[in-house]
Structure 1
Amino acid sequence: MTELKNDRFLRALLRQPVDKTPVWMMRQAGRYLPEYKATRQQAGNFMDLCRNTELACEVTLQPLERFELDAAILFSDILTIPDAMGLGLYFEAGEGPRFKKTVRTAAEVEALPIPDVETDLDYVMNAVRMIRQELNGRVPLIGFSGSPWTLATYMIEGQGSREYRHAKGLLYGQPEVMHQLLDKLAQTVTAYLNAQIRAGAQAVQIFDSWGGALSTPAYLEFSLKYMQQIVDGLIREQDGRRVPVILFTKGGGQWLEAMAATGADALGLDWTTEMSDARARVGHQVALQGNMDPSALFGSPASIRQEVQRILTSYGPGTGHVFNLGHGINQFADPEHARVLIDAVHELSLPLHQGS
C-alpha cells in the first residue's frame, strides 16, 4: 500500500501527537466551488454525478487542489442506501432530496429489502478505490453514511422535514415497526461502511443529522442504540492501521457522554456546544471534531481568524482535536474565506502542539 504522507488527521482522531491541528470541512466538495458546479453540470444531475466514478473522484479531489486540507471525504450522499432499497431517490432543483416511494406501514417495512451493498452500491466502492489511487497517499480518505434514524426520517417523510410528523408518529405509535426499520438500516449501514473500508476508506463518519430532533429517551432508544450496533460491527483495522470512527449528531451536545461510551474514536460537535466544555466532559475518552459555525465564513477574513483562534483556545493545548465546521459549508460561502479558515487553523494551532 502507498505510504500516507500526511497522517495528521488519523493521528488526532486517535489522540496521538501531531505537529498542528488537522482540518477538513463537511461538504468541502460542493456547491460553493465553481469547479464543482461545472462538473455537476457536465454530469447532468446530482445522482448521475454520484454514480460516475471518474467525476465523483474529480469532485472529491477538487478542494484538495485549492486548499491545504488534511483529509478527503468521499463524494456521495447519505441517501444512497434508501435509493438502493428501491425508494427512488431524486432531487428537485432548490428543493433537496425526494423519494418516489415512502415507508410508513408495518407491511412496507417488512417488504423493504436489505441491499447487497457490494453490487447495489458498487459505484460508491468504485469511487473509493479510484480516489485512494489518485490521492496516492497525499491525505487519508473518509468514508461515511447517514445514521439509521436520519435515513429513516427521509424514508418515512419522503423528503426533508422540520416536524418529522410521520416519523415521530411511527416512533411513538408503533415503536416495534420503527425498531424493525432501524435494525434493517443498521445492518445495511454496517455492511456499507465495511465495504467502503475494504475499498480503501481510512476513517468513517456516521452523520446523525436529525438525532437532535429527539427527546433524550427517544434519542437513546431510536438513534444511539443503532449507531452503537454499527460501531460494534465495523472493521476497526485495515492495512495494519486503526480505522477511526466518528459519530456526529447535530444538536447532540447534551448526549456526549452516552455517545463517547459507544466505543467510537471521535465525536463531531456542532457550534452550540462549547469545545472546552466538551473536552472537559469526554476529551479523556474520545477525540473531538468541530465546531465553527459555517455562517462565520460570511464574516471578514480577520473575524474568521479570530473565531478560529477562539475555538483552538477553547479546546486548549495537546492533540485530540480535528478542526471542522459544525455542519456543512454553506453553498454561498466564498472559497477564499474557506482558505482563510484552513490556513489559520494550521498557523494558529502550532503553539498548541509544541513539545507534543
Structure 2
Amino acid sequence: MTKFPALKNDLILRAARGEKVERPPVWMMRQAGRYLPEYHVVKGKRDFFETCRDPKIAAEITIQPIEHFPGLIDVAIIFNDILVIPQALGMTVEMVDKVGPHFPEPLRTPEDIKRLKKSSEVVIKDCLGWSLDAITLTRHQLDGRVPLFGFVGAPFTLLAYMLEGGSSRMHKWTKEWLYKYPEECHEVLQRITDVAVDYLAHQVIAGAQLLQVFESTGGELTPAEFKLYSLPYVKQIRDKVPARVKELAGDEYDRKEHDVPMVFFPRNSWYALDACCDLGYDVISLDSSWDPAEAVKVVGDRRVTLQGNLDPGVIYGSREMITKKVEEMIAGFGGGKQNYIINFGHGTQPMMDPEQVGWFLEECHRVGKQ
C-alpha cells in the first residue's frame, strides 16, 4: 500500500461520519478551475481533457484553491470531469470552448449501444490510469493539509449526456429513450454503474479519502422515473464500492485508509431527499432550492450528514449579503456542529471574484465557530 503523508485536518471526515465538530467544514464544488487566475496560467492553451490527463498539471490545479485560500478550505477535489466514464466506454467527448461538452456521435437508436464497450471490457488502469496517477500525486503534494475527494457522475446523468450529445435544456432524446426504450436505458445504466463502481474503488486505492456521486441531471426525472432510473443505480454504487475496494486492496486493506465516506448529490430532485437518506450514503448534498431547516426535518434521526447549499449567485452580491446568507444557512442547518458540511448548492462560476469567494470562506469560519 502506498504510504501517504499523515493527515493534519480531518474535519470533513469527522463531519461526514456524523461526529460532533468544532465548526462545520467548508469546500466548494468546482473550487479548482476557471474563476482562479492561476488556473488559466497553468492550463495555458491546452485542451480541457488534455489538461485533465496530465497528472502533474491536474495535481497543481487541484491544489490551487487550497493555496489561494490558505487554511480556509477543508478538502481538495481532484481536477477531472464526470464524462471520462463515457470515454472509457468508447465514446468520443470533446470540450468545446464557450459551449461545453460535445459528443460527435451520441447514442440515438438502440442499435448504437453496440458501439459501447461492455463493462467487463473496460480496464480502469488502462483507460483512466492517468486520473489515478493524478490522485496519488495530489495526495502526496497536499502533504496532509486536507483530505482529497474523488468522484464520478451518476449513471442517469451520464446516460443523459450520452443521449443528448452534450448539455441540453429540453432533453428530447433522453425523454424519448426513457419512454420508448426503457429496457435499453437500463442496459446502458448498468454498464455505466459497473464502470463507476470499479473506477471509484480504484480512486480509493490511488488515494482518494472521500467520494462524491454527482446526479447533476436528476431534476429532469419525475419522482416515478427517479425511482426507476436513478435510485437503483446509485444504491448499487454505494453498496458495491466498499467490497470492490477490499478486493483491490487484498492483504493491504486498511479500514482507516480505505473505508471512505461517500456523498450523493441529487441536484434539483427535491422530492427524493427522503429516499436518498435511505441509500446508505454518509452525506447527501443539497442544491440551493432546499430550505435547510426543512431538509433537516426530512432527515430526522437518521445518521446522514447534509452538505450545501448556498446559492452560488450570492457571491455576486455585497459582502454584507454574503455574511447574512451564510448566517442564515448555518443556522438553518442547526448551527453546523454536527451532520453538516458547508458548500454551494452547485459549483463556482467562471465570472466569480476570488476576493468575494475568500470573504465567503472567511465568514463560514467565523460564523461556524460561534
Task: State the TM-score, normalizing by the size of structure 1.
Answer: 0.96
1:90-109 alignment runs, 5 A limit? 90-109=94-113
Q: Which residue of structure 1 aligns with residue 142 of structure 2?
A: 135
Q: Which residue of structure 2 aligns with residue 344 of structure 1?
A: 363
Q: Which residue of structure 1 aligns with residue 59 of structure 2?
A: 57
Which among 232, 236, 239 is matched to residue 254 of structure 2? Answer: 239
The code of the aligned residue for 1:168 comes to K
Q: How many Å apart are 1:283 and its aligned residue?
A: 4.9
The reply to whether residue 325 of structure 1 matches residue 344 of structure 2 is yes
Q: How many Å apart are 1:304 and its aligned residue?
A: 0.6
Percent identical residues: 37
SS for the counterpart of 2:347 is coil
CA distance in 2, matches of 1:316, 1:204: 25
Which among 282, 289, 294 is matched to residue 307 of structure 2? Answer: 289
In the alignment, is the contact (CA less than 8 A) between 1:193 and 1:234 conserved in 2?
yes
1:68-147 alignment runs, 5 A limit? 68-113=72-117, 114=119, 115-147=122-154
Which among 4, 7, 27 is matched to residue 30 of structure 2? Answer: 27
Post-superposition CA distance 1:14-56 (Å, at most 9, x none): 11021111000000001100001111215x1101100001000
CA distance in 1, matches of 2:300, 2:40: 38
Q: Which residue of structure 1 aligns with residue 249 of structure 2?
A: none
SS for the counterpart of 2:265 is strand
Higher deviation after alignment, 111-120 or 68-77: 111-120
SS for the counterpart of 1:339 is helix
SS for the counterpart of 1:87 is coil
Q: Which residue of structure 1 aligns with residue 192 of structure 2?
A: 185
Which among 261, 265, 270 is matched to residue 248 of structure 1? Answer: 265
Q: Which residue of structure 2 aligns with residue 66 of structure 1?
A: 68
CA distance in 1, matches of 2:33, 2:195: 26
The reply to whether residue 7 of structure 1 matches residue 24 of structure 2 is no
The code of the aligned residue for 1:7 comes to D
Post-superposition CA distance 1:196-228 (Å, at most 9, x none): 011010010000000111100101100111101
Q: Runs of 5+ in structure 2 lacking a partner?
A: 246-252
The reply to whether residue 230 of structure 1 matches residue 237 of structure 2 is yes
CA distance in 1, matches of 2:126, 2:294: 44
Q: Which residue of structure 2 aligns with residue 45 of structure 1?
A: 47
Q: Which residue of structure 2 aligns with residue 162 of structure 1?
A: 169
Q: How many Å apart are 1:163 and its aligned residue?
A: 1.1
Which among 155, 158, 163 is matched to residue 151 of structure 1? Answer: 158
The reply to whether residue 202 of structure 1 matches residue 209 of structure 2 is yes
The code of the aligned residue for 1:274 comes to D
The code of the aligned residue for 2:36 comes to L
Which among 331, 334, 340 is matched to residue 316 of structure 1? Answer: 334
The code of the aligned residue for 2:92 comes to G
Post-superposition CA distance 1:262-319 (Å, at most 9, x none): 1000100011011111111115321000000000000011111111011001111331
Q: Runs of 5+ in structure 1 lacking a partner?
A: 352-356
Q: How many Å apart are 1:2 and its aligned residue?
A: 2.6
In the alignment, is the contact (CA less than 8 A) between 1:154 and 1:160 conserved in 2?
yes
The code of the aligned residue for 2:38 comes to E
CA distance in 1, matches of 2:279, 2:114: 28
CA distance in 2, matches of 1:232, 1:110: 28
Segments ≥4 residues shifted beyond 4 Å: none
In the alignment, is the contact (CA less than 8 A) between 1:150 and 1:208 conserved in 2?
yes
CA distance in 2, matches of 1:235, 1:131: 22
Which among 219, 222, 226 is matched to residue 212 of structure 1? Answer: 219
The code of the aligned residue for 1:226 comes to Y
CA distance in 2, matches of 1:343, 1:4: 22
SS for the counterpart of 1:108 is helix
CA distance in 2, matches of 1:2, 1:17: 25
Which among 271, 293, 303 is matched to residue 276 of structure 1? Answer: 293
Aligned length: 350
Q: Which residue of structure 1 aligns with residue 180 of structure 2?
A: 173
In the alignment, is the contact (CA less than 8 A) between 1:109 and 1:181 conserved in 2?
yes
Q: How many Å apart are 1:101 and its aligned residue?
A: 1.7
In the alignment, is the contact (CA less than 8 A) between 1:197 and 1:235 conserved in 2?
no
